[in-house]
Chain A
Amino acid sequence: MMPTLALKNVNKTFGHGTNEVQVLTGVNFEAVAGEVSLVIGPSGSGKSTFLTIAGGIQTPTSGEVLVEDRSLLALSGKARDAFRLNQIGFILQAYNLVPYLTVADQFTLVDRVKKQGNLSTTELATLLEQLGIAELTQQYPGELSGGQTQRVAIARALYQNPEIILADEPTAALDSDRVKVVGSLLHDLAKQHHKAIVVVTHDLRLQEFADKTYKIMDGRMTLS
């Protein structure tokens, strides 16, 4: 099966000369539609750099990033913006919420910049129900707890109905019960909606929902 997202022999170096730091070394990675791929590693292992390269935010020093066999690196800046908007859903550690928009308006903002392909009203209602945040649509992010904010951020990313979901520590602020809800949701999304889901985390509780797990240490990635 053709991978939805693939990184081939990706290297990333920051700095020059004596300040040069090799953050990623020869990374090979594949995410397939219908699967949850977990990337587990400690802080400073290079997993965030991996995520930004996979999402087209950063370019590697060498190597190739392929989305459905097309090179992401060949795209212009604008085309990469459009790619992120249409094909990638980011679930960020810093949360992807705009503080002055209500939960409902977070989705309206997506509608304003991405006119087609988003979830329908019914699908969104189901998603909010699944995440336990259906009652929070008129709240501002500042009025939500950490866990509620994280779940809204997940819903916000999924609302774009992307083919690939890149999640950066999506369960960092959640208790074990909520981890199960989010883990199951990501798993169901992969299976039922045929999404390629990549989760970068050091939360081992998510392992039970993953189809495959990569380990990253000192910039080197291995499939376990």
Chain B
Amino acid sequence: MLDQKLSLEILKATARIASSTPHLDQILSQIIDVVKNKMNIDACSIFLIDDAEKVSLKAFSGYGVDETANLSLNMGQGITGWVARHKNTLALREAMQDPRFVFIPNMEEEQFQSMLSVPILREEQCIGVANVHTRDKRYFSPVEILVLETIADQVAGCISNALVYAKNQMMIKELSILYDVSLGAQSTLNPELGLWVILSGITRGEAGGFNRAILFTVEDGELIGTMGLGPDSPEDAQRIWTELDGEGKEYQIAQKMISEEEKDEYSKSNFNKFAKTLRYPLKENDNVLAEAALKRKIVHVENCAGHPLVSDEFCQTFGVDSFAAVPLTAHDEVLGVIFTDNRYNAKPITQTSLHLLARFAAHAGWVLENSRLISRLVATNRELLSMKDRLIETEKLSALGRLSAEVAHEIKNPIVSIGGFARRLKDKFMENHEASQNRQEEESALNYANIIFEETQKLERLLKDILTYPKTGDLNLEICNPDQLIQESLDAFKTLLLGQDVKIETHIQKDLSPALIDPIKIKQVINNILSNALESMPRGGKIKVSVYLVDSDKDEEQSFLTIHIEDSGGGIPDQALDNIFNPFFTTKKTGTGLGLSICRKIVENHGGTLRVENFKNKGVGVFILLPLKNSRDCTKKEHPSDGRPEIFFDEQT
């Protein structure tokens, strides 16, 4: 029998145990030890009721139960079950005679005669049962009943504490996982690595705990499988779990969740390859992934068969019946979806793990968004840099241009006088040549003067090119008759043909409409190209000039005045062909190398193109194409008084 002093001792001991540690298992077994040793009984056990209403044995002492026996009763089953259901204490002198008694194998309850069973109550709910048994047949005193009931209340308090403690621990763990994942994802600028960190957070046992995860990203109206993390097969899953077990429970997710090498290993896995083959249309009411993305909600499918947006094919592809999909968003924009399941351990997906998954997804969204922003930044930066380079180049050229124009101008006057007088010298010698006594000497002096004159001519040409180069941009547009323009160019050119065995053949299409061009500049272009042609034929040849209209293949309204100049000078050597338009490139002994590049600039400023066709060992054909759109929109009108055409411009053109 239990006296008051002992009762108080027992309760003091159990209260101390209850407050000593938050670990429920330890508390229960220590309480049972105290009860069994001090209460003058033979066996003691504590059952707890779980969510599934199973009354399971948690701690015991004095029974023949195998340590590993996982004893579990239904509500209402046996005396313990009855107490659990009715929340009432039962004190039975002859327990086995009681109609509620049920024989439970392994427990060897039959060796005990009497039994006291009290419910463990918390907030009016029964959360467990505490039992004591005695071998001898006896009554339980009110004090004993009161003590056990008090202990049951203490246990209830401990369970509450333990639950709060476990919840706290869970939250701390979750926070630290999220911290580690976010640190891991942010510590790298490599978005791929960041996403691997997040996927591994989702799949690691101590974190998200999912078996597999696949990241889908939105691209052109489709969800494209981008990466997948998970075992390739059940065997692989077994291997990974064994390895992880070896690393111990306190496995650190660590500051850096995965390294570069691990990333490579992940990306080589078959599962990742499988993930990359997946693509689903991002359409409403099409598939469950699109649903998650478009509705921006977590979709948890517990049974594929009954789900309207999960096709059989989808089910077979992933090989699961139950899975979850979370959207990845950033700035209100859907960037992708994460699919995740527990294919290998078939663990149900709990609400808690879905919450954690949503948090991982939020991180993944930001990593994706970051990578998008970074790649845009990098591209913009690159563009800026190249723009800066171009600007510097342009500035250099323009400074050079200004400088050379200044120098050229200053040099011009002296050259004109040197050249002018050299020519006069030459002329003077020529006049006296016939009558002279010293023909030989005079001839060489004549030659010298000639050389000076010719050299200054070259210098003048160079200066002219340099002075024109920076100014090719300004056009003085006039309405010109192409026929006349060509004729004038050819007339000016004919003086150069004197003494050369070169023939010019012209084919000019009749009734060419007038063109809006800068006649001086276009004449300069024609003259330059004709000069090139002439210089390519020192032993004579033929130049063919054809002028005609060509319709644009892009725009029916557009046609081009085409000036086609062909020579028979043998063509341009291969190694020179690439450079003919580069300023200062020349193959001639006397050229500046500016001619063709100036020509092209002029033609392009007119909105036209200059094209060179090279026929090796035959000759060169140059096409000058000038757009006629402007002049076509001019209306020709016969003037009543003098019959000369007047030209009106359409304001819009």
> Is B one of A's binding partners?
no
B interface residue numbers (CB < 8 A to A): none
